[in-house]
Amino acid sequence: MTACLTRAPRACTTPATDRSAAPAAEVRTRVVVPLRFADGYATTADVVTFHGLADGKEHLLLGLGAWRERVAGLAGGGTAPLVRPHSECLTGDVLGSERCDCGPQLREAVERIAGEGGFLLYLRQEGRGIGLYAKLDAYALQDAGLDTYEANRALGRGEDERDYRAAAQMVRAMGVDRIRLLSNNPDKAAQLEAYGVGVDAQVPTGVHLSEANRRYLTVKRDHTAHTLDLDGLIA
């Protein structure tokens, strides 16, 4: 299965399908962190760091809800943990920007995963992998009329430069080789499977529509086959 379903040629890499493509990582630390969101929702996360991640970045895994029970049940054919690989978005996650749906997706994912047991992977891949400054440069180009993917290409970057090798390493370091994937993005499923993590099901997130992200969501649905049910929401 290819991992290049949604990528521009510059960013497209096809990972090998064997485990050597994503060598084993090891748990570095595990810390209990109580979480509280602005709307009052609260839960507790086991926040895990790692040694040996392929890209050398400081990604985090948040174990939520009955994640231990989900992991323990895998050997007996139990339901796989619910997992969301969530790419860092300072503007959306922290500042509440409505130009994307990242902040609401993060909030939704934490509650849904806590309810079912699983992991949120907080991945340091701002701007679909191009970085914070370049993402803001792309915003300026979008203000001039380009869509989110055209803007990345105009900057000489790939449409989506994210690589989920480290995400696969993190999941496997927790003793997990199959998951239910909480994501609208088919590229995440393709890459994780190519890196040795089975995807039993792809579970869509909700649709977090605002006037500011209307075009952004439409382009993600139409250009990169995100599973966004926008019918009736966008005229």
Catalytic residues: 160, 162
Phi, psi of 181 (to 5 degrees): -95, 120
Do residues 134 and 153 touch, judged by C-beta distance below 8 A?
Answer: no
First-to-last alpha carbon distance for the chain, in angstroms, is: 35
Cα–Cα distance for residue pair 224/227, rounded to 1 Å:
9
CA atoms within 13 A on the CB side of 23: 6
What is the residue-wise DSSP string for 19-83? GGGSPPPEEEEEEEEEEE-TTS-EEEEEEEEEE--TT----EEEEESSHHHHHHHGGGTPPPPEE
What is the DSSP annotation of 22-36? SPPPEEEEEEEEEEE
CA-to-CA distance for 17 and 13, rounded, in angstroms?
12
What's the CA gap between 77 and 221, in Å, rounded? 33
Specify the DSSP class assigned to residue 184.
Answer: S
